[in-house]
Structure 1
Amino acid sequence: MKQNLLGAIYLSLAASMWGGMYVISKYVLDFVPPLTLVWLRYIIAFVVLFAILKWLERKNENRAPIQKRDWFLLVWIGFIGYFASIALQFIGTKLSDAHTGSLITSATPAFIVFFARFLLKEKLTLRKICSVTLATIGVMTVIGWNINVGTYFWGSIILVGAAVTWALLSVYVKIASERFSSLTITTYAVLFALIFTTPFMLWELQSKDITYESSYVILGVLYLGIVSTAAAFFLWNKGLELMDAGIGSLFFFFQPLVGSFLGWLLLHEKLTFHFFIGGALILAGVLIVTLPTKSVENE
């Protein structure tokens, strides 16, 4: 119970940080090109994570070395999740719109439950199915039900790819956590994502410039690198280490909820009645699957 509670806290914090990321990104992207911003996020996150990792390793002399086969797993996590998924989300959103992107990527928890069933052999219980369904309806209620899949066909297909690859990341992080700490996984996965992103960042800078008109741009980049990347990625991985991936996936739904709330608080965006109804459904879905039951058979 204590482990599940800690996992829930870590995952809630990570999703909340990503929700806040969109408010900051909306401002910073007016001055920094998107792929360059991703690269800056990763280089800052890697420096922070690597410094902490090495400091902790000096205190722990009995740590297990990383084997050759383990490096392939870390490369795969960095590629599939922190590079491919983020890139597909950028491309898919560009070929569609932000609303369509938000709605399609909200299917990520369902994909996590699916992959966890076959790759991790996690049980597909009635509670999980009901929770994911209820929370998904909640997200659709918050975001709105209008979606232009027909108008943005290729963009929608690519966004499905973004949801699938992030789901695979979450499952493979769970696999890697059996051998490594969440800090080790996050640090080296971010490093490999940084390597994969570098050529595209250099290509982007051939036609686009970075402008610094105020210190808020620098502060925004630092926030995205330290909080939304280093801290959030670590907390998400740590939370998945402590919980079943299928259960942990539900906390992904806090992202649009927090993003909408901060958009209202900081950007003066309107909150409709649908926000509160959808938020209640998301919270209900999370509570159904995380609260303890008297008997396993009840699941």
Structure 2
Amino acid sequence: MLYQILALLIWSSSLIVGKLTYSMMDPVLVVQVRLIIAMIIVMPLFLRRWKKIDKPMRKQLWWLAFFNYTAVFLLQFIGLKYTSASSAVTMIGLEPLLVVFVGHFFFKDKAKWFHWLFGAMAFIGVAILINGGKNNEGIDNISLFGCLLVLSAGIIFAAVLRWTQRVVAKVSTQAYTSVSIVLGTITTLPFTLLLTENWQISLNSTGIAGLLYLAIGCSWLAYWLWNKGLNSVDANISGVFSRT
């Protein structure tokens, strides 16, 4: 549980930092570059662990890397381009309820009353925080399309959480984290080529610092902490923690 709390402290600022990097490059490029930096960090471990993973498990790892990194990151950061950071965080605040809902109705992981309660409290808490600052951003900065993209990322996160939990238990936290980052970087490349609207890069100190934070803190360290703590609590509780 402690590992996941530490991961969440890092993740909590990712969308705000993400906005800062948009002054430097296209959101899709931000996702690709942050993954490349994280991949460089984990590559030595990946080379040692990949050969020891059997082929059936490799297929699962490819899919999980695509869902957890490519799909989630692209939907979040493209959505963030069209809407405000506060509205995007509000959509992410729905994830605890989504995790409980998906598990209860699709995975026969029957949720107890406190799972629903804590999930609702997590969303309400985020909504209250955002409501307090809405006058500073203005309604014109909120986009339904952007919010739906961020919400779609949350749905994917909720749908694969239990699958991720099972795979991490089989291959170890270190192996899963390093392998999924490398594979996620690869599966993101075709989408980067297709979805990047502006290839111009304007380097600045704020953008570089933000990009390094996203790569090292949010893409590598936070995911390692999250994966390490994933099997210490059940999926519903992990979902509640994911955005509290």
TM-score normalised over the length of structure 1: 0.69
How far the C-alpha of 1:242 sits from its partner, in A, is: 1.6
Structure of larger gyration radius: 1
Instruction: Output the CA distance in 1 between the equivalents of 2:106 and 2:9.
Output: 27
Secondary structure of 2:170's counterpart equals coil
1:74-104: CA deviation from partner (whole Å, max 9, x where unpaired): 1111111211122222333344443332212
CA change 1:103–1:230 in 2 (3 A) is same
Letter in 2 for 1:18: W
Note if contact 2:70-2:184 (Cα within 8 Å) is conserved in structure 1: yes
| Structure 2: tracts of 5 or more residues without a match | none
Identity of aligned residues (%): 27
Instruction: Output the CA distance in 1 between the equivalents of 2:16 and 2:81.
Output: 18
Aligned residue in 2 for 1:274: none
Note if contact 2:7-2:222 (Cα within 8 Å) is conserved in structure 1: yes
Secondary structure of 2:25's counterpart equals coil
Q: Does residue 154 of structure 2 align to residue 163 of structure 1?
A: yes
1:182-226: CA deviation from partner (whole Å, max 9, x where unpaired): 222222222222112223334566733112244x54443323211
Instruction: Output the CA distance in 2 between the equivalents of 1:157 and 1:206.
Output: 20
Aligned residue in 1 for 2:191: 200
TM-score normalised over the length of structure 2: 0.83
Aligned residue in 2 for 1:40: 33
1:31-54: CA deviation from partner (whole Å, max 9, x where unpaired): 122111111111111221232455
Instruction: Output the CA distance in 2 between the equivalents of 1:155 and 1:174.
Output: 29
Instruction: Output the CA distance in 1 between the equivalents of 2:195 and 2:106.
Output: 37
How far the C-alpha of 1:250 sits from its partner, in A, is: 1.8
| Structure 1: tracts of 5 or more residues without a match | 1-7, 58-62, 255-299
Aligned residue in 2 for 1:139: 126
Note if contact 2:31-2:77 (Cα within 8 Å) is conserved in structure 1: no
1:159-180: CA deviation from partner (whole Å, max 9, x where unpaired): 3311101112322211212311
Q: 2:116 aligns with which of 112, 121, 129?
A: 129
Secondary structure of 1:170's counterpart equals helix
Instruction: Output the CA distance in 2 between the equivalents of 1:100 and 1:253.
Output: 14
Q: Does residue 177 of structure 2 align to residue 186 of structure 1?
A: yes
Aligned residue in 2 for 1:294: none
| Number of aligned positions between the proteins | 238
Note if contact 2:25-2:198 (Cα within 8 Å) is conserved in structure 1: no
Note if contact 2:89-2:126 (Cα within 8 Å) is conserved in structure 1: no
Q: Does residue 215 of structure 2 align to residue 225 of structure 1?
A: yes
